[in-house]
Chains A and B, each alone.
Chain A
């Protein structure tokens, strides 16, 4: 088994146990989508684009009392070290579903009955915890599109690696570690929208891990705030350059 944590409590990439990978978020990167965001979270590179609210097609899927939220999580064939077949895999279908369920409590879907809101998440490069990075980018893209939301959705994945609780699980730690626990939540409302766990934690470990996830999620929230502020207030000079 790979040695994942050194004797000095440092991880493979030199991070401390509770340290996140560097995160860079930009909103409004795509001109043709109503809203968009691009996130680099460690070696994850993820693009999110949002359309809507728009007419729902096929029409029989439209809901009479609220908007239909459609999400697609897709990994590019070159996003992993071995070519990934481009058709949706079992995992991608699952992630599309959990992203939809993580975002839908935040969006005021009742304001737009009979319409559809489409969220497309394209993973260009994958490096562990990509579901949380995708949710964060997608919620920033939804805000960028001006869709009414009760709160932004952010999160952080925590885990257990060599019996230690760590923040922001990387790809190797996810595969070779003991537990991966992604948490997404609405920081102002204090409501959890995604909580998954693969692996077993004791009650104490869970409480410690969960608290760490919320704490780090709030740090991620500040990054999203800054990105949206920059995107909206810094956008004024964009057209003059063209």
Chain B
């Protein structure tokens, strides 16, 4: 019988090895699939029952925090956002059943105290009951953010302020937005209803329009065309363009016109500050598809912006083949119309690169993360993303943009408090076809002080219905930019 018993032992061993293999398959192989299953609320419940660190501005204002619930609540902690909607596009939300976004998502491990460093340091907490949560300090300046919100008011649009030398985002606001507290409720059914409502509201309030959407940039794009032509040597400060009201590009019978069909021309500073269209259309076509597309790529157009918040958009210009077939569209693209689309944050980075000697920094909003005892976990080191133009070109562009403020399309509204000199470029992106009611995005990009820039800004007012002229962007977006820069520079 012993031989049979031996065989039976082998059978049992095989059965247990099968169990072991299946355990490996589930606990190792399928782990990530199982953890990611939407019906699996284990991780979320754990997160909701654990304390969670704060998110705060660079000047110490609390953007998101967790408060202990009264006994008897479903969960031990409630995530709250003391400033309501002010920072919703930056902190994102942390919900039960609907996941998390923005900083709440990407810095989840730090906030929940789950990074390896926190776990090691927090070993003591096993005995003294202290939590291991971390704090995320953003680069946001509460005053500038508030100023951006106040200045934009209830108009649809975006405002982004960044530090040219570092790429640190000091303010990022867009309207419409939503109050984060509304979706961070414990009742997941209620949260679901609110999400559904916000999804249907026009203007995409759930989307952080300032970095997740792209819009036609209008004449603000001329800084890019100008930088490309100056770096190439095609034009210089002394180049002149003859007075004309329209220009007939090759491959078409439909001429490109200036705003309101005005006669426009002169040297580079003049056509730049008056924002004539035809000189930039000619310049783009003369540079040709290859050089023009290569120049936009040097600005990072076509690439996802390397922002430290998730799902940032990419700006668009077009490719060489397309423009070779459609030279008139290359001309139109040269002054920011047609298929050209820019993310507001990206436009702020373009302004910042001019202010920073032709070097474009990676934008970031997460400054420093701290463990529970205030020790630094990680500090973002400013890094260069692109070098879109030569220092000489950036100096000349600064001069041109100062001209815009002093004598050009932004003359109306960009004279900053205390006599601080700003440099700016306006833009009016016409959205309607000829004969339709006029609609446009009003833009301004600027930086100040012009001689030693501290802040670069973009203001974009979406789909305004004011009468379109080369000055529309300046008169509508200019005052917003001025208010925000005044607050920023007063500190």
A, B co-complexed: no
